Amino acid sequence: MTALGNIAPAAPEVFMAIAGMALLMIGVFQKGDATKLVGWLAVGVLVVAGFLVLMAAPETVTAFNGQFISDRFAIFAKVLVLGASALSLVLAMVWLAQEDMKRYEFSVLVVFATLGMMMMVSANNLMALYLGLELQSLALYVMAAFKRDSVRSTEAGLKYFVLGSVASGLLLYGASLIYGFSGSTSFPVLAEVLSHGTPTGVIVGLVFVMAGLAFKVSAVPFHMWTPDVYEGAPTPVTAFFAVAPKIAALALFVRVMMGPFADLVDQWQQVIVLIAILSMLVGAFGAILQSNIKRLMAYSSIGHMGFALMGLAAASPNGVRGLLIYLAIYIFMNIGTFAIILSMRQKGRAVEGVADLAGLSRTMPGMATALTIFMFSMAGIPPLAGFFAKFYVFMAAIEAGFFTMAVIGVLSSAVGAYYYLRIVKVMWFDEPVDTFDRPAMTNQVVLWGSAAMMFVLFIWAAPLIAGAQMAALSLFPG
Amino acid sequence: MIIQGLAFYLFAIIAVASAVMVITARNPVHSVLWLILTFFNASGLFLLLGAEFLAMILIVVYVGAVAVLFLFVVMMLDLNTVTLREGMTEYLPIGLTVGLVLFAELAVLFGGWVFSGTVEVSRASPTPALSEMTNTEALGALVYTDYVYLFQASGLVLLVAMIGTILLTHRVRPGVRKQKIADQLARGRTVELKKVQNRGGI
């Protein structure tokens, strides 16, 4: 114990690791089908881990010889990640039974992927960063290929794996350059070294690290994999991909940029501005012609990442606050929309075309109303939470003097509104073709809960804003 | 000293000779076996240098895992070495050039290490003397204390890799005959002898 020092700050991670292995054992030794049992236990594990995170001391503490850090920022991001994972796992349960993919490993992989994400947001060392990222990615590659008898699912898994490995390679190469030119992998030491001057090699390495991280958040120009993987992967996996890993990777992005490389802000700011602008544009224009709703959501998520990166580009406490608020609202918008996509079943068969939503307002007015709420929120129309999400990042960008980026952001969000509203038009004004099956109870609960959050977070946003504010400030010492 | 010298030349000569055999052997399975001999001798050289951990790892990982994997691949692919050798003379110059470049680079590296005045300074964490602590002990003292977080995390990454492999490849097929020892033992008197025709099957 003395050799290890205090491991209390990492208690949620230790709990998750042990619980993940225990779930694996339960699944292996359970007679018969253990999918449901392990699934709900995994949801329980994620919730308990969430409480452990919330109970942790809010001060900034490190553990494991400084490789692990726990601060308000990490706590905020971890709560978001755990919530997103738990909600997408709940959504997945019905689907696994319906699509005959009853394999308990799904939930175990979700738990391990989430553990990797928690390690990412708590990384305080380049090596810890890489291992967390790899734990997460490896679990995600397998999940993308989860429906292994489907050609599209295996293609998605393979594509994600190959491209993800290239991104990991870029990141590792950058990390090795940074280590070689600065002499340390520890974030505080790097910050100290870089405050005395910047070797050119570190800047080159930083660009490689940013390329690797941009791939993980699917920011343009490293976004090519996103539509294919989102379309090919089983829908609950896509729902999971769209929320939890994005949050973790963005939080990691913020921690790396604001922590060790805070003094290099002039070097990285221009890169972030560029990828934010490109992501917003590609997200807006790429989605226009999509007829598959999963591909459309992929482009939508690329666009959303662009908006969130605007907060990072501002490189100020307000920018990080805006980014965190954006992520929190983004979870509910996406989970709600995917709850509907998962309910798009005609005669027991899943459909995923935008045209299949035709006339939903007449066949299922409730679901049509909910999807309309989410689409308006994604477009950023008040009085819905999505408006605030965009509002805070735009404010931060303007405060930091990035008027061009803010104007392009507003314009691309107007273009984005076109395809969100197209879905609304298809639902309310087109003739119904076929009715959907009755959605499962769990999906409905998640769906209406998320829809309610769209209003709750608009009217009563003060706790969220205050939490994000404190989380953002913990990254800015003094 | 003289025994060390003798041992070095023994290991080195066998290593080089078996390395030559790897690329000249006609049978690919023999090539892999020669490769294993090369690994063993390289591991002996590591032992002479006092790097006992590397020596063990070389045997465990390269002989135990990599070479066996090669053996499987070679046996499954049914390689024909005669067709493989066809372009040998064509590619020989390129191969030799690559070899020369590698050799020159090694020479530069080694020369820089020997003749540079800052060698002692640039060794950030020198290995402790063998009389104080063995390599294995020194590594263990670091990996299980300072880097225990990374060590455990790597373990989890490997666990996920294993779950993924089993999940994606393991399937229950009908008609697979598994050995059931209990059934075999319970056969009792029903064991019978059958005359099987050569190459005829049952």
Compare all CA atoms of chain A with the CA of B141 and give the residue at the minimum distance. A3
Please list the ranges in chain B whose pLDDT falls under 70.
80-82, 84, 116-128, 201-202
> A67 and chain B: CB distance < 8 Å anywhere?
yes
d(Cα B154, Cα B157) in Å, to the nearest integer?
5
Confidence label for A227 from pLDDT (cuts 50, 70 and 90):
very high
Give pLDDT, residue B119.
Answer: 58
Please state, in angstroms and rounded to a whole number, the distance separating the CA atoms of residues A177 and A181: 6
3-state SS assignment for residue A68: strand
Residue A458 pLDDT greater than 90, yes or no: no
| Confidence check: pLDDT of A194 > 50 | yes
CB contact under 8 A, A17 and B156: yes
Give me the pLDDT at residue B174, please.
Answer: 80
**Contact by Cβ (8 Å): A35, A104:** yes
Residue B117 DSSP class: T
**pLDDT tens readout for residues A325-371:** 999 999 999 999 999 999 888 888 888 888 888 888 888 889 999 99
CB contact under 8 A, B168 and A145: yes
Each residue of A279-335: pLDDT tens digit? 999 999 999 889 999 999 999 999 999 999 999 999 999 999 999 999 999 999 999
Residue A1 pLDDT greater than 50, yes or no: no
Q: How confident is the model at residue A96 (pLDDT cuts 50, 70, 90)?
A: confident
* pLDDT tens, residue by residue, A30-48: 888 888 899 999 999 999 9
> Considering only A436-440, A469-473, B52-56, which range has the smallest mean pLDDT?
A436-440
Percent of all residues in chain A with a pLDDT value above 90, rounded to a whole number: 71
Within 8 A of A142 by CB-CB distance, chain B residues are 160, 163-164, 167-168
CA distances from A207 to A20, A183, A211, A267, A475 (A): 35, 18, 6, 9, 21
Predicted local confidence at residue B127, as pLDDT:
64
pLDDT at B172: 77
- A142 closest CB neighbour out of B145, B147, B164: B164
Query: Helix A35-55 and helix A11-29: axis angle, to 10°?
Result: 170
For residue A63, the cross-strand partners are A68
Candidate from B146, B153, B154 with C-beta closest to A65: B146
- A413, A397 Cβ separation under 8 angstroms: no
pLDDT of B81 reads 65
Residue B20: its H or E element: helix B2-24
